[in-house]
Each structure stands twice: as C-alpha cells, then as structure tokens.
Amino acid sequence: MGRRIRHIQRYRDIGKAFARNGFGFIVKELGLMEMLNLPKRFFIRDTSEIQTKTTGERIRYFLEELGPTFIKMGQLASTRPDIFPPEIIEELEKLQDQVRPLPYEDVRQVIEEELDASISEIFQSFDEDPLASASIGQVHSAQLHSGEQVAVKIQRPFIKELVKTDLEILQHLAILAESRTDWGAKYEIRKIIDEFSKSLKNELDYLNEGRNAEKIANQFENIDHIYIPQIYWEYSTDQVLTMEFIKGVKLNNKLLTLEKAFDRKIIAERFVHAILHQVLLEGFFHGDPHPGNIFVLPGNVIAFMDFGLIGRITPQMKDSIASLIIAMMSKNTDGLIRAITQMGVVPDEVNMELLRTDLDNLREKYYDIPLSRVSIGEAVNDLFSVALEHDIRIPADLTLLGKTLLTAEGIAESLDPDLSIIHIAEPFGKELLRQKYHPKRIAENFWKNSLEYGEMLSDLPRRLHELTSIMKKGKLRMELTAPELDRVLNKLDHISNRLSFSIVMLAFSLIMTGLIIGSSLGRQTSIIWDFPAIEIGFGVAFLMLGWLFYAIFKSGRF
C-alpha cells in the first residue's frame, strides 16, 4: 500500500493512457477509477478517432505514450505469438524506441561516477554526439589512451528507478486483472508480467550483456567470417559498457546493395548458418538479430552487435525440437501432439480431438511440398497459431527461437531470394537427431532416470508414512473434476446400497440366530416362550428385508 501511495501519480498516468486509447473499460474492471479518483470526463470523450484505429494500433499508442518500460514490454511481447494474435504482434513490432539524446553533461557524470575517474583519464578522446540513442541508453564513440577505438554504451540516469516503479505497478495491475476479470485469470497475466520483468531486468544489466557477447564469441572462435566485438571489462559496469568499435555497413544499409565488394548471396548464407549454429548446436543465441544489429565487414565478414536479449535452448528443448522434426517428416500427428506437449504447458481442459484435427490440417498443408518451397517462418507461425488457439503456453525461449528464425529468414530473403533456409538447416537437423539418438546420450539419460527412480524408491517409505499420518488425522484431500464427479457419486451410491444390504442381512441373521438359541435354551415354561416370538420376528424382519430389496433394486444402483 505504501508503494502504491508513492506511485499514485504514475497510476493516474496509466489510467489516463488507458482511457485516451479506448481502453477505459479496463480501468473500470480493475477498480482503478475509485482507487485513483479519476474524473469521469476521461471516459466520456469523442471516440470517433479511436474507432478508426485497430486494437493493435491503440495498444501500440498506449505503450509509446507511457515510455521506456512499456515500450520494452511491448517489444518483448512481440516475440510471443503463442500469447498474442498476429495482428497485435504486427503492431508491437512497429514500436519506436527513439528518444531525445542525453545532454553530454549527464553522459559524463554517469561515466565518471561508474568508473570512478574523470572522462579525460579514461579516454584519449570522446565524441559528445551519440551514435545512437534509445529509451534505456545511448552509444558514443571514443578512443582509449592505448589507441583502440571503442563504443561506449551509457545507461540513462534514474532509468532503473523508473523501470522498477513501473514493474511494481504492472505486477499489482496483473494481480487485480487475475482476481477481477476472466481474461486476466485465463491468460495468467501475473506469469506473463513476471516473465517480461525478468527479461527487462537482464537488459538493464550491461555486465550481463558483456558476458553474453563473450559467450557467443567463444562459439565462433574458429570461424573467421563471424565477428563479435571485444569487451573492455576494466571500463565496464552494470551501467556503462565499453566494447570494440565496429566500422562496417549495416544489413539494412543501401550501401550493401551498391557496394560491389560485398557478395549478398555469401552474406545471406553465412548469416543463416551463424544463426542455426547458435540455435541448434550451441543452444545459446542472439535473440534480436534484426538488420540494425548486424554489420558487414570487408571480406563478407558478419559482425553481431547488441547482446541484451539472449535465448537459451536446453537439451530437453532440443529433444522436443528433434521430436517435432521427426513427427513432421514422418507425417505423424500423434508425434506432433507429443512434441507440442513436451514443448509447452498444455491446459487440462484442452480438447485433444480438436487439437488433433488442427494438427492434421497443418500436416496436410505441408504434405508433399518440396523442402525448398517450405517457409520456415510460415511453418513456425502456423504452429504457434495452433498453440494460441488451444491456449497452449510455449516456453519463452522457444517462442524467441521462432521469432529469431522468422527474422533470419526475412533477412536472408532480402539478400538472396533464391536461398532456402531449409536446405541450410538440413545438416543441423541431422546433427540434432544424431545427438538425440547417440548411444552416449541414451546411456546418460538412462543413468539419470535410474538415479531419479532410485531416489524416488528410497524416498517412498517416508512419503507413505506422511500419507498415513495425514489419513489418520482426517486431512486427506481429494480433487475431482466435474466429468468424474457423477461417475464417482454413482459408484458410491452402489457401494452404500450394497453395504446397507449386507448390514441388514447380517442383522437379520443375528436376530434369527439369537431367537433360535434362546428358544433351545429355554426348556422351562414361561409366558414369553408360549408366545410365538420367532414366527412374528421372522415375519417382521422378512417384511423389512423385502422393502429394502425393493427400494434398492428400484433405484437401479445395486
């Protein structure tokens, strides 16, 4: 509550931005009107301009209006086609991250505070005009006293505090959305915000970006035509990153087309090969390889820049991708379902028959089409569309992989329209399958599973003891889904009726036995023995038994 009071003005900004872009109903659903005491005039406005814009456009304007945190969130959301439909993704990809440059005095202050030295002591020269400027930071060229040309990335002052505030507010709004709205609960908004928050915090740590650059550089240490800039750690902190200055031509620069020194076909092939090497073999890849982050150096050498966004593919994910490839090659729908189930979080209520039908249709779409004519980008989009349709949540790294492959294919096609990314991917796919079924890998998995099963068995007595204790205390909980409930209740009815029948039969037997024994022992004369008790008791018990039989059999639940 204290944080909410401190951030009340930011809450109001967000509420007004919702209203201005046609999302006033969200403010009402979340209860922000009462909490923020927003005037109703914000929600009674001319909607003619709003109605001319698509939902995707209004979301984009909303995010751009609220600044760096929301823009970055939107850019991260554009990598999640399993959550957002294509028309929203298309608009999120247009988000602009251009802002006015920081004044040089602010840049100098950040550098000197972070590196604990004057700027003249650190650099022989420093260009006051930035090479690029974005909402989180900007880049300047400089020269070290040792003579090396460097690019210095400086984080904007107070950006961490602003992002922290916005993330706290977003997490609170996500809690409200999940508790008050059906759509918030359905899409598990808190998990999405937490996931995006983690990625954004990683981007704010420049030391993390430097480590990412070095790790990818190690992947290509024996490949001459891929270049990763060197990181100067002695001049880097979590808010200042100093790296080797790369002088080349961006992939989106027209000079690449005009300059005869560059071979576009070779560049396209090397670029795709580098992306697939990172993704399928290393499992650690550049997550944002758009043309502005790729430079071409003399000799058709490709240099990657900006390593804030990185994707990771675990061995388990690689296995799932390999299974998916096998299933698609063999036209096996069951295999596709198993692979998607391994890759994502399949909700319990998913309609498996409908999922099977959609995957059958997807399989038929690519049936008998030559690999050279298959668009990997379109195939990835189709797969994610099926996942979105059935509320299957794909892990973030896998959707980032899909986005990376889409970007790579688009760049490759712009450089060489005749290039088939599938043909280049074929040897990587074979290597992936070879790794999956390599005897050593199989043995390692068997040994790992054996250890896990051994631990489970050794832990079984303790678990059983805990279960017994819970049962003794009467605290054992059972969860039954609706489809099972009627069947279980019906079964319980059958059991209870049979139990009742058995108890009555037992009671009848005991009564008759007691009467017979009593009569055999009572040789002396007595009024009670002159009375026909056995015959009357037998008659009453027989009538009761007959009535019980009739009731049970009539219910049909014996």
527 inside domain = yes
469 inside domain = no
Number of domains the chain is built from: 4
477 inside domain = no
Q: Are 184 and 160 members of one domain?
A: no
Q: Are 150 and 52 members of one domain?
A: no
Longest CA–CA separation in the chain, Å: 132
171 inside domain = yes
Nearest CA to 403 out of 72, 85, 68, 76 is that of: 76
395 inside domain = yes
What's the rounded mean pLDDT across residues 47-68?
A: 84
Query: Residue 475: phi, psi to the nearest 5?
Result: -110, 15
463 inside domain = no
443 inside domain = no
Q: Are 110 and 216 members of one domain?
A: yes
Active-site residues: which are they? Answer: 288
Q: Are 294 and 344 members of one domain?
A: yes
Q: Are 37 and 92 members of one domain?
A: yes
Interior CA angle at 405 toward 321 and 441, to 5°? Answer: 25
Query: What's the whole-model pTM score?
Result: 0.70
Provide the token pair at 226. 């891929």
Q: Are 12 and 124 members of one domain?
A: no
What's the rounded mean pLDDT across residues 32-40?
A: 70
Q: Are 126 and 25 members of one domain?
A: no
**CA–centroid distance for 507 within its chain:** 62
Per the CB < 8 A criterion, the answer to whether 376 and 272 are in contact is no
Strands 132-133, 137-144: pairing is antiparallel
Angle between helices 396-415 and 376-389 (to 10 degrees): 150
Q: Are 34 and 166 members of one domain?
A: no
More confident: 510 or 166:
166
Q: Are 183 and 266 members of one domain?
A: no
Distance between CA atoms of residues 390 and 328, nearest Å: 19
Kindly report, residue by residue over 392-448, the tens digit of the pLDDT. Answer: 877 778 778 878 888 888 888 888 888 877 677 777 766 766 766 667 666 666 666
**Confidence at residue 394, expressed as pLDDT on a 0 to 100 scale:** 76
Q: Are 15 and 103 members of one domain?
A: no
3-class secondary structure, 556: coil
Q: Which domain holds residue 365?
A: 253-437
Q: Are 92 and 113 members of one domain?
A: no
**Confidence at residue 527, expressed as pLDDT on a 0 to 100 scale:** 47
Residue with tokens 């199989």: 442
More confident: 497 or 334:
334
Distance between CA atoms of residues 159 and 387, nearest Å: 36
Q: Are 93 and 240 members of one domain?
A: no
CATH of the domain at 205: 3.30.200
Model confidence at 75, pLDDT cuts 50, 70, 90, reads: confident
Q: How many residues does the chain have?
A: 558
Q: Distance of CA 33 to CAs 9, 13, 105, 504, Å?
A: 13, 12, 41, 66
Kindly report, residue by residue over 275-321, the tens digit of the pLDDT. Answer: 989 988 888 999 888 888 899 999 999 999 999 889 888 877 877 77
Residue 155 carries which DSSP code?
E
Sign of the Cα torsion 60, 64, 68, 69 reads negative
Distance between CA atoms of residues 7 and 516, nearest Å: 88
